[in-house]
Amino acid sequence: MSDPIDLASPPVASRAKTLKAETRETHERLDHSIMAGRPFESQERYALFLAVQHAFHRDIDALYANPTLDGLLPDLAGRRRFGDVEQDLADLGIAAPQADAPPAFGATADIPTALGWLYVAEGSNMGAAFLIKAAGKIGLSEDFGARHLAGAPEGRGLHWRTFTEALDALELDDAEEARMIDGAHAAFARVQGLVTHVFA
Binding site for ligand HEM (CB under 6 A): 16, 19-20, 27, 30-31, 34-35, 56, 119-120, 123-124, 126-127, 130-131, 191
Task: Pick between residue 5 and residue 179 the one whose CB is nearest to ligand HEM.
Answer: 179
DSSP-based three-state secondary structure for 141: strand
The least distance separating ligand HEM from the CB of residue 103, rounded to whole angstroms, comes to: 15
The least distance separating ligand HEM from the CB of residue 88, rounded to whole angstroms, comes to: 15
The least distance separating ligand HEM from the CB of residue 4, rounded to whole angstroms, comes to: 33
Measured from each CB, the residue nearest to ligand HEM is 123
Task: Pick between residue 8 and residue 156 the one whose CB is nearest to ligand HEM.
Answer: 156
Task: Pick between residue 111 and residue 135 the one whose CB is nearest to ligand HEM.
Answer: 135
Q: What are 46-51's contacts with CB under 8 Å, separation 24+?
A: 46/92, 46/135, 46/138, 46/140, 46/145, 47/89, 47/92, 47/94, 48/198, 48/199, 50/85, 50/88, 50/89, 50/92, 50/94, 51/97, 51/194, 51/198
The least distance separating ligand HEM from the CB of residue 171, rounded to whole angstroms, comes to: 20
Q: What's the sign of the alpha-carbon dihedral 13, 15, 18, 24?
A: negative
Q: Which of 14, 24, 11, 12 is nearest to 184 (CA)?
A: 24
Task: Pick between residue 29 and residue 99 the one whose CB is nearest to ligand HEM.
Answer: 29
